[in-house]
Amino acid sequence: DAKTTQPPSMDCAEGRAANLPCNHSTISGNEYVYWYRQIHSQGPQYIIHGLKNNETNEMASLIITEDRKSSTLILPHATLRDTAVYYCIVRPPWVDSSYKLIFGSGTRLLVRP
């Protein structure tokens, strides 16, 4: 599985966009990029995923560079409730029984009032 590198911590002001980077320079052509977040001590929550194209849903946008070696998760209008640890994960598509999701250390995002 490709390894990801994220900054250990970031902060942004409430109402502003939060841009969380992720480096995955060894990603393979068929590996997806996933983002999850963990608020306080709750179970992780799925945010978004993508392969090549940029993706947007009601929670966030995912921008993947053309060479796919890095990506950015964008929270367009961060709120205090977005304070959490954000995990960037890469994984291959479903391959029978070899599928598993490996979490790294993530980025701790603090949204300031």
Partner 1 sequence: NAGVTQTPKFRVLKTGQSMTLLCAQDMNHEYMYWYRQDPGMGLRLIHYSVGEGTTAKGEVPDGYNVSRLKKQNFLLGLESAAPSQTSVYFCASSYGGGASGELFFGEGSRLTVL
Residues that bind partner 1 (CB under 8 A): 32, 34, 36, 41-46, 49, 51, 87, 91, 93-94, 96-97, 99-106
Nearer to partner 1, 51 or 80 (CB): 51
Nearest distance from C-beta of residue 73 to partner 1, angstroms: 15
Nearer to partner 1, 42 or 66 (CB): 42
Q: Give 72: exposed, middle or buried? Use CB within 10 Å, 0-12, 13-18, 19+.
A: middle
Q: Cα separation of 66 and 73, whole Å?
A: 15
Nearer to partner 1, 93 or 113 (CB): 93
Q: Cα separation of 4 and 46, whole Å?
A: 17
Nearer to partner 1, 98 or 113 (CB): 98
Nearest distance from C-beta of residue 9 to partner 1, angstroms: 12
Contact between 60 and 48 (Cβ < 8 Å): yes
Nearest to 23 by CA among 94, 89, 102, 84: 89
Nearest distance from C-beta of residue 7 to partner 1, angstroms: 14
